[in-house]
């Protein structure tokens, strides 16, 4: 950030009065521009015991498999955001959405909110950001070709919960170290 | 938003290619400036069956009672954000934090993530943004003087869960209509 989005003046990193950390402060109108983490919403969509994954048609991680997820938009609820992403990326509709996990990724300023859901029917097709949409049984999940650590962690939790027969709400911190580990469950 | 924070050029609301909604687009460098909901993190802090509330020393809603909560900062986890707010607003430290509720407030672009927790000890004192910090038994909660609908909803859920003897994770939508209703449980 170099310029104030309000007045076009130059901004500098300074600690505002009464604050305890650096913010972008406009040198002309004095407005403080706060920067906050961004929320990503998505789901684990199930059909007859299998999970719907999408093969990414966009960077980053073009060609890898992911759960339908994307940035929450202003004016929508987290549940509606997750439903929108499921439709946009996989052309699918879901029944009830159950909160399933909250994942912090502090080093990139993202928070993922993931739901569990069952598809309404067996209809799905890749959207513009997906090369393919495909159902995988839990024993066929392409662990070595997943897009992001948070997708792996969500699916690992799901795999374990399904094996145990009990699904509970998870809250996990996706650290930079975890992001570098590349092994399946 | 009037100016591009990258190059200082003018921005206009336009639908970018491949998108389906209006975004602020720079007319000079073509950068698209996305705007997303902001996350607020907080907790319901308990000590010996009573709840710690803070009386706001700042606007909006100066003088009303609230749970310790505030904007999540870049680089921190939701749990650490909730702990920081508890320390900043009420001078208190918590034991384990249990995820307790996710509240959508789409008409103001906020998402609240609330935890349940027990205080580490009976030490607390109002921070610079609080006039008072005080323990309330569940039957003494000042329902008519709470700061925001999301605080009311969180405390209503807590009140009901405590009466039932079972706490579960809540996900609720704080609509504009709910925000105008002013009755206690």
The CATH number assigned to the domain holding A167 equals: 3.90.79.10
Residue B155 predicted with pLDDT over 50: yes
Q: Are B45 and B23 contained in the same domain?
A: no
Interface contact B36-A38, CB threshold 8 A: yes
- What mean pLDDT is predicted for residues A78-100? 97
Interface contact A39-B35, CB threshold 8 A: no
- What mean pLDDT is predicted for residues B71-91? 97
**For an interface test with A, which of B4, B5, B128 has the most A Cβ atoms less than 10 Å from its Cβ?**
B5
The tokens for B124 are 């607390």
Overall domain count for chain A: 2
Query: For A91-143, how does the pLDDT look when each residue is reduced to its tens digit (9 = 90+)?
Result: 999 999 999 999 999 999 999 999 999 999 999 999 999 999 999 999 999 99
Report chain A residues touching chain B, CB-CB < 8 A.
Answer: 1-8, 11, 18, 21, 33-39, 71-79, 99, 102, 104, 106-107, 109, 111, 113, 128, 169, 171, 173
Q: Are B13 and B44 contained in the same domain?
A: no
The CATH number assigned to the domain holding B15 equals: 2.20.70.10
Nearest to B101 by CA among B64, B69, B125: B69
Query: For B104-143, how does the pLDDT look when each residue is reduced to its tens digit (9 = 90+)?
Result: 999 999 999 999 999 999 999 999 999 999 999 999 999 9
Whether A151 contacts A142, CB under 8 Å:
no
Q: Are A21 and A77 contained in the same domain?
A: no
Interface contact A77-B106, CB threshold 8 A: yes
Residue A69 predicted with pLDDT over 60: yes
CA distance B146 to B133: 14
Give Dmax over CA atoms of chain A in angstroms: 60
Q: Are B52 and B25 contained in the same domain?
A: no
Q: Are A23 and A94 contained in the same domain?
A: no
Q: ipTM of this model?
A: 0.89
Q: Are A19 and A83 contained in the same domain?
A: no
CA distance B14 to B12: 6
Q: Are B12 and B47 contained in the same domain?
A: no
Q: Which domain holds residue B51?
A: 38-180
Q: Can you state the percent helix, strand and coil of chain B, rounding each to 5?
A: 25, 35, 40
Q: How far is A24 from chain B (nearest CA, A)?
A: 10
Find residue B71's DSSP bridge partners.
B40
Give the position of tokens 């580990």. A181
Q: Which of A8, A72, A106 sits opposite B3 (nearest CB)?
A: A8
- Residue A185 included in any domain: no
Q: Are B92 and B104 contained in the same domain?
A: yes
Q: Are B1 and B81 contained in the same domain?
A: no
Residue B90 predicted with pLDDT over 70: yes
Q: Are B99 and B151 contained in the same domain?
A: yes
pTM for this model (two decimals): 0.91
Q: Are A45 and A77 contained in the same domain?
A: yes
């Amino acid at each position: 950030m170099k310029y104030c989005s309000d007045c076009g003046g130059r901004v500098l990193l300074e600690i505002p009065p009464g604050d305890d950390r650096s913010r972008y402060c406009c040198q002309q109108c004095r407005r403080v521009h706060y920067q906050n983490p961004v929320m990503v919403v998505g789901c684990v969509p199930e059909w007859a015991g299998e999970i719907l994954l999408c093969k990414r048609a966009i960077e980053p991680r073009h060609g890898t498999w992911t759960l339908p997820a994307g940035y929450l938009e202003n004016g929508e609820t987290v549940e509606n955001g997750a439903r929108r992403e499921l439709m946009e990326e996989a052309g699918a509709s879901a029944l009830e959405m159950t909160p399933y996990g909250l994942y912090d990724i502090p080093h990139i300023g993202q928070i993922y909110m993931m739901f569990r859901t069952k598809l309404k029917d067996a209809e799905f097709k890749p959207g513009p950001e997906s090369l393919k949409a495909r159902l995988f049984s839990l024993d066929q999940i392409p662990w070595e070709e997943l897009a992001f650590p948070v997708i792996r962690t969500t699916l690992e939790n799901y795999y374990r919960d399904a094996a145990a027969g009990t699904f509970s709400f998870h809250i996990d911190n996706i650290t930079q170290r975890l992001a570098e580990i590349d092994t399946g469950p």
